[in-house]
Chain A
Amino acid sequence: MLRDVTLGRYYPARSVLHSLDPRTKLAGLIIYIVTVFLASTPVSLAATFLALCVLVVLSKVPVRFMIKGLLPVAFILAFTAALNIIFAVDGVWKAILITVRTLEVVFGSNILTLTTQPRAISDGVEKGLSWMRVFKVPVHDMAMTVSIAFRFIPILADEAGTVMDARKSRGASFSGGLIKKSRALIPVVVPLFASAFRRADDLSVAMDSRLYGYSRTGGSLHPLRYRGCDMAAYVMMLCYMVAMIIMKVVGA
């Protein structure tokens, strides 16, 4: 199961969304999330949902694949919805609102990670936040940390699987109640941390040897450049946002 981690994984395909600049997509995600929280009526909510469907279609990622990564979230959603229906005034509408909003935010973010390579996301975030360097915020280091962390997720996931297998082959059991499971995981987590530290040690030697940190200026292999499709996308995002704001103001 650990080896099948699909949440946050890139899905290779040729689509409009795949070819956009990461900054465009990040801006789009932020705008989308804002509109999702602006929408408080059935009409505006439907509009955001329609926008999501358009994005899903444009991404050319199979819906089945997207849903697979969202099953863990489904449980939390169902729980929250139930609480609202039982306890809140206007409970049913609140439940729908919260459920749909959460789904939209999660799906929306998922579309970003499915259509954008981790390196592109971190480049986009770094470029977008580069103004923070004025305030001595280590933007480049943070971006590096995040992108390396992303890279090692599947590797550590595999290793966790191996450590668990090694414990199982000595008779350890990972089934049973929550407490029993947690106890059984400690002898897995500790070696995993040790291994992560060992890898980090090696990586830091490798990075130091390759002169990490000696220059924060200079060019990069993939300088981010806006193209026509990005400009078109920005225009459409702006129109969508304006439309949603108008809907809010008008009270639809």
Chain B
Amino acid sequence: MSFACIEEVCHSFGSNRVLNAFSLRLESGRFTVLAGRNGSGKTTAARLLNALVIPDRGSVIVDGYDSRDKASVFEIRKRIGLVLQNPENQIVADTVEDDVAFGPENLGLSSDEIRRRVDASLKAVGLYDKRLDNPSSLSGGQKQKLAIAGVLALGPKCIILDESLSMLDRPSRADLLKLIRRLCDEDGIAVLLITHDMEEAAYSDYVYVMDGGSVVMKGSAAEILTDERSLHLHGLRTPVACAAASRLREKGYPVPQDVLTEEDLLSFIGGAAC
């Protein structure tokens, strides 16, 4: 039973058809990527999941709750957290810990429970020793970690990251991908990363590619990321390591299909050299 299910959704904004028979499933403990060029409908698709957008046609079921049911919206948003692209425009408070407390305070929890959750979330993302700092003093990557902590404090089973890594520099991006992987693998959280940067997708388990409002490719990361031609057709680039692995395979080297990231490739080469 999938944690969240988007089934055959069609949606328009005015006369503009944005989603066309769009379907997607999210599984617990799995890192899923939804990729597509700008204008392919990715952001709208993401907003379906936490009931910010109610589909014109089709259904969105999250952990048994239907998003069209107004009474379910609270339960859905407790279970699915959303992190946006711009690190700055999600912060509502003047100190790190106050910002994380925003969600739990909205749940009406006791002061002790709020404190407990805030501390746990900050420790989970590695910002605990910055809890009294002003969020403006954080780097972009740290601000996104703060956003994730704010979402974690609600106790979600799923986190959606809407192009949340695109404004970050490379070390911050790598740092956040590691955090996301850990949340997936250790805490069993379903993660959906929306992006057009396939280098990020190289760290995921499952990939959906969108174009023109519908899913055009779906499969495991290894299947999708090695399909250079199709990715290019839909305005995306194959990760560098995948392309290199394909070239090596053409030359006869037995590179496994799941070599997708730079680290994977280097450890394979290192092993092959022995």
Contacts and interface: CB of A to CB of B under 8 A. Distances in A.
Interface of A: 117-119, 144, 147-148, 150-151, 154-155, 198-199, 202-203, 205-215, 217-223
6 contacts: A147-B94, A155-B88, A209-B151, A212-B106, A213-B106, A214-B74
B15 interface: no
A78 B112 CA distance: 53
B44 to A, nearest CB: 12
Interface stretch (B5-13, B77-85, B189-197, B247-255): B77-85
A155 B105 CA distance: 25
Nearest to A223: B111
- Per CB-CB distance, the 6 closest pairs between chain A and chain B, nearest first, are A215-B108, A219-B111, A218-B108, A202-B89, A221-B101, A206-B90
A223 B113 CA distance: 13
A113 to B, nearest CB: 12
Contacts of B118: 221
Interface of B: 47, 50, 52, 74, 77-78, 81-82, 84, 86, 88-95, 97-98, 101-103, 105-115, 118, 136, 147, 150-151, 154
Contacts of A151: 91-94
A202 B84 contact: yes
Contact of A219 (B89, B105, B150): B105
Given A151-B92, A202-B89, A220 B114 contact: yes
A223 B151 CA distance: 22
A60 B96 CA distance: 25
A202 B114 contact: no
Contacts of A150: 94
A218 B82 contact: no
A207 B109 contact: no
B258 to A, nearest CB: 33
A202 B86 contact: yes
